[in-house]
Amino acid sequence: MDLQIQHHFHDLPEHIDFGTSVAIDTETMGLCLHRDRLCVVQLSGGDDVCHVVQLNQDRLYNAPNLKKILTDPKVTKIFHFARFDIAALYQYLKVITQPVYCTKIASKLVRTFTDRHSLRDLCKDLLNVDISKEQQMSDWGEKNLKPEQLKYAATDVLYLHRIKEVLDKNLEREERQEIAQACFDFLPTCAKLDLLGYSQLNIFEH
């Protein structure tokens, strides 16, 4: 693998074309979206190129090129645990990301023989690739990101297309494509509910 990392500030360049699907992940200062700001958005078109967009410089979140991709109805956005990323992007970029695909949800629908559905688990189990999560808890608010942080960010999107291919075959085998798609379609609403404070409440209960 010849990984290429392109580091951008404030926004993506205009000329980038990811085709019909793009893998996306976010890095924030923490897991409380009302407190912990969005710092980085990383994207990959399924090749060995990752675009890391650093948004926390001067707290600028006006990223029109990035927003255009997030809302393009012809481009499927592939996430792992999309619920959090969609909420973070909505909180700070003020756009709803769709259409989306979540590898974590797909895994839970077809890999019912295990409770291991992390990105690292899927890379290892489905692709025989061992990824490092060492930089997961690092400070993404730093002005100058370290090379190991950039590599970590890239790794989080590098394998999502390949994971999706495997999971799609399993969804078809188990005849769960329709329920998976319904879950994906609901994710933007779920993200909005999380931001409204309903993340720990099941509004469908009696």
At residue 1, the pLDDT reads 60
Tens of pLDDT, residues 61-117: 889 999 999 999 999 999 999 999 999 999 999 999 999 999 999 999 999 999 999
At residue 206, the pLDDT reads 76
Q: Cβ distance 54 to 39 under 8 Å?
A: yes
The order of strands in the sheet holding 49-54 is 4-9, 49-54, 38-44, 21-28, 76-79, 100-102
Q: Cβ distance 39 to 139 under 8 Å?
A: no
Architecture of the domain delimited by 4-198: 2-Layer Sandwich (3.30)
Residue 176: strand, helix, or coil? coil
CA separation for the pair 125, 115 (Å, rounded): 12
At residue 135, the pLDDT reads 60
The set of residues, in sequence order, having a beta carbon less than 8 Å from that of 22 and lying 6+ positions away, is 43, 44, 45, 46, 69, 75, 76, 77, 78
For the chain, which ranges sit under pLDDT 50?
none
Closest of 32, 39, 66 to residue 55, by C-alpha: 39
At residue 41, the pLDDT reads 97
Handedness of CA 7, 101, 105, 89 (dihedral sign): positive
Residue ranges per structural domain of the chain: 4-198
